[in-house]
């Protein structure tokens, strides 16, 4: 479009649309693989928002809902590998994950999310656990995509920071700046024995290590200054070692001397995601997280959590708008409400009840010997949240709020949680589920949702085809991608160097 036409078009646009125009493409929209020379990355990676040039495109300014989708296979009903559209071998099939991520990108979602725990699932008799290493799987699956982000879970308790930092920054380069790290401390007790611990470290200790771990990983990701790579073919000078800072970290738990063999990525560095809701988890989120996953059964719980996280970010000298909160939502979508209910019933029948009951007891801190399917559970039966408890504070708080409204039997809770742990379940038509998403988003309870299909084989596509179009029509969600990095999708700027708290303070 000639520039004059573009400018005159601006005047006729509704006020909530912003037109960015330029005859040159924005650096952030160029995949480094397409740059003529890889060492042109220096200026590319140093691009700050003020230095970046705008590109053509219509960008919806606000409100902007964010949607991620979980690739957990077979889905949040763990026995759903038995229902139509799913297959027992899906959890190790690369074609399965490539198909899912392409569908998610067709829906213009912000990112796909993959959970992880480095141990064999206690429930392997009935359902596949978290199988493939998420970074390895996503490196393969993302190769066929261009815009969608990929968020992989990685444990700060059972990794070394140098290896983890290198793995995630590698994925960030391979995807052109679309990677996120869901930093978890891993509560799964069986994991500790795989790493030489006789007992799982206590939660407080896990979070103390996580704090130091994220600090070191950030230092490693930021080690290369933007102009460290010279790439001068004439003189043969490849890089300036003086512009590559070693981590030189010596802390109480971790010691890392050198630098990574990798420069910063097109989005600066991978997105930092955090999912814990205990005091330690929230403190970590306030200090470092770009995105926080939350589990909430009620709007009030979600809103309080979001307010808390934003307050903690501000207390760390950060801009609260740079921390997005994404609430978990398990979905079962049908063409009609009764079709959705039938599908839910079919999925319920696949829940292995005895293991689900044991998991519920563990999750809620109740004596498994005294918990039966018809036991009525009240909010006051649940233990308080203390920092030494191994169980998830977020799931416990969310369940307590649910039971305060109405006591439920163990069986009813298992059904409400889709046989798993504590996320809310939405069953209905695309329009009904879009109504729930809109109500929560407009109430300020959350910045968006991490969708957890009841079963992924057909449920992920059903969400994209039957729910997303309603959100687009209502002006809540994008119809086209405006960016090619994950930070761009989330409305976040290219990460500056230094910890988030240092950046805003400077």
Ligand X SMILES: Cc1cc2nc3c(=O)[nH]c(=O)nc-3n(C[C@H](O)[C@H](O)[C@H](O)COP(=O)(O)O)c2cc1C
CB-hemisphere CA count at 13 Å for 368? 10
Alpha helices for 271-392 (secondary structure H):
279-288, 299-315, 337-348, 353-364
Q: Determine if the peptide bond prior to 246 is cis (ω within 30°).
A: no
Between CA 395 and CA 297 the distance in angstroms is 9
- Please identify which residue in the block is written with the tokens 């003529």: 36
d(CA 363, CA 360): 5
In the shown chain, the binding pattern of residues 367 to 396 toward ligand X, with x for contact by CB under 6 A and - for none, equals -------------------------xxx--
The 3-class secondary structure across 222-277, one letter per residue, is: CCECCCCEEEECCCCEEECHHHECCCCEECCCCEECCCCCCCCECCECCEEEECCC
Q: Is residue 265 within the footprint of ligand X (CB under 6 A)?
A: no
Nearer to ligand X, 203 or 483 (CB): 203
Query: Is residue 403 near ligand X by the rule CB under 6 A?
Result: no
Contact with ligand X (CB under 6 A): which of 45, 132, 174, 295? 295
Q: Closest separation between CB of residue 397 and ligand X, Å? A: 9
- 418 is a site residue for ligand X (CB under 6 A): no
Contact 440, 300 (CB under 8 A): no
Question: Cβ closer to ligand X: 47 or 138?
Answer: 138
**From the list 31, 117, 409, 504, which residue makes contact with ligand X (rule: CB under 6 A)?**
117
Q: By CB under 6 A, which span of 110-118, 330-338, 404-412, 424-432 interacts with ligand X?
A: 110-118
Select from 135, 184, 214, 351 the one that contacts ligand X (CB under 6 A): 184
74 preceded by a cis bond (ω within 30 of 0): yes
* Residue 153 contacts ligand X per CB under 6 A: yes
| 328 touches ligand X by CB under 6 A | yes
Residue 284 binds to ligand X (criterion: CB under 6 A): no
Selected binder of ligand X within 90, 110, 116, 215 (CB under 6 A): 116
Taking the C-alpha atoms of residue 105 and residue 30, their distance in angstroms, rounded to an integer, is: 18
Is position 278 an interface residue for ligand X (rule: CB under 6 A)? yes
* Residue whose tokens read 């590998």: 81
Q: Which is nearer to ligand X, 429 or 450 (CB)?
A: 450
Asked if 104 contacts 481 with a C-beta cutoff of 8 angstroms, the reply is no
Smallest separation (angstroms) from ligand X to the CB of 136: 15
Stretch that binds ligand X, among 247-255, 277-285, 353-361, 460-468 (CB under 6 A): 277-285
- What is the C-alpha separation between 118 and 112, in angstroms, rounded? 20
What tokens were used for 257?
């001397």
Q: Is 64 in the site for ligand X (CB under 6 A)?
A: no
**Does position 156 bind ligand X by CB under 6 A?**
no
Nearer to ligand X, 424 or 497 (CB): 424
Name residue, tokens 């001068």.
Answer: 232
Written as six digits, the tokens of 481 are: 């991608």
∠ Cα 92 96 97 (to 5°): 85
Of residues 427-456, those binding ligand X (CB under 6 A): 450
Contacts of 24 (CB under 8 A, 6+ apart): 53, 55
CB of 170 or CB of 185, closer to ligand X: 185
Closer CB to ligand X, 29 or 450, in the complex: 450
**Total of chain residues touching ligand X, rule CB under 6 A:** 22
- Binders of ligand X in range 186-245 (CB under 6 A): 186-187
Smallest distance from the beta carbon of 104 to ligand X, in angstroms? 17
| Tokens representing residue 69 in the block | 């989708």
Nearer to ligand X, 334 or 420 (CB): 420
Q: Choose the binding region for ligand X from 19-27, 38-46, 269-277, 436-444 (rule: CB under 6 A).
A: 269-277
Pick one of 65, 119, 247, 277: the residue that binds ligand X (CB under 6 A).
Answer: 277
Stretch that binds ligand X, among 289-297, 302-310, 350-358, 493-501 (CB under 6 A): 289-297
The continuous run of DSSP H or E covering 430 comes out as: helix 430-442
Min dist. Cβ of residue 467 to ligand X (A): 19
Give me Rg for the CA atoms of the chain. 23
Closest listed residue to residue 207, CA positions, set 178, 185, 223, 227: 185
Q: Which of 120, 125, 116 is nearest to 72 (CA)?
A: 116
Where along the sequence are the contacts to ligand X (CB under 6 A)?
Answer: 115-117, 153, 184-187, 275-278, 280-281, 293-295, 328, 392-394, 450
């Amino acid at each position: 479009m000639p520039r004059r036409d573009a400018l005159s078009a601006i005047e006729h646009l509704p006020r909530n649309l912003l037109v960015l125009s330029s005859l040159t493409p924005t650096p952030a929209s160029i995949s480094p693989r397409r740059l003529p020379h890889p060492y042109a990355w220096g200026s590319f990676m140093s691009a700050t928002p003020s230095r970046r040039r705008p590109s053509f495109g219509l960008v919806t300014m606000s409100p902007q809902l964010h949607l991620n989708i979980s690739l957990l296979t077979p889905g949040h009903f763990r026995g759903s590998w038995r229902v139509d559209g799913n297959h027992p071998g899906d959890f190790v099939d690369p074609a399965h994950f490539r198909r899912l991520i392409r569908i998610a990108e067709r829906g213009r979602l912000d990112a796909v999310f993959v959970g992880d725990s480095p141990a064999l699932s206690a429930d392997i008799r009935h359902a596949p656990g978290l199988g493939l290493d998420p970074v390895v799987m996503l490196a393969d699956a993302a190769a066929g995509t261009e815009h969608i982000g990929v968020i992989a879970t990685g444990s700060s308790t059972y990794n070394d920071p140098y290896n983890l930092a290198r793995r995630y920054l590698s994925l960030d380069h391979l995807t052109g700046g679309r990677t996120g790290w869901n930093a978890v401390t891993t509560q799964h007790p069986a994991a500790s024995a795989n790493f030489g611990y006789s007992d799982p470290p206590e939660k407080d200790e896990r979070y103390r290590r996580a704090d130091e771990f994220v600090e070191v990983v950030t230092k490693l990701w930021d080690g290369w200054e933007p102009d460290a790579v010279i790439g001068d073919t004439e003189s043969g000078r490849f890089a300036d070692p003086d512009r590559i800072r070693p981590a030189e970290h010596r802390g109480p738990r971790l010691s890392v001397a050198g630098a990574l063999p990798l420069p910063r990525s097109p989005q600066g560095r991978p997105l930092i995601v955090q999912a814990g809701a205990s005091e330690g988890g929230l403190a970590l989120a306030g200090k470092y997280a770009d995105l926080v996953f939350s589990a909430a059964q009620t709007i009030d719980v979600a809103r309080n959590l979001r307010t808390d996280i934003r307050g903690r970010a501000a207390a760390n000298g950060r801009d609260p708008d740079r921390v997005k909160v994404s609430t978990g939502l398990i979905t079962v979508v049908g063409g009609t409400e009764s079709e959705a209910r039938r599908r839910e019933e079919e999925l319920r029948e696949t829940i292995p009840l005895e293991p689900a009951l044991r998991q519920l007891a563990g999750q809620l801190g109740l004596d498994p010997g005294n918990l039966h399917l018809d036991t009525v559970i009240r909010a006051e039966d649940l233990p308080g949240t203390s920092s030494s408890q191994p169980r998830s504070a977020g799931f416990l708080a969310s369940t307590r709020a649910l039971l305060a409204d109405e006591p439920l039997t163990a069986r009813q809770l298992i059904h409400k949680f889709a046989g798993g742990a504590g996320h809310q379940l939405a069953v209905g038509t695309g329009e009904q589920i879009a109504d729930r998403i809109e109500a929560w988003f407009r109430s300020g309870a959350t910045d968006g949702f991490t969708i957890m299909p009841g079963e992924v084989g057909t449920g992920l596509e059903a969400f994209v085809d039957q729910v997303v179009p309603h959100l687009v029509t209502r002006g809540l969600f994008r119809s086209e991608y405006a960016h090619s990095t994950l930070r761009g999708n989330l409305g976040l700027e290219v990460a500056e160097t230094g910890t988030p708290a240092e950046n805003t303070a400077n």
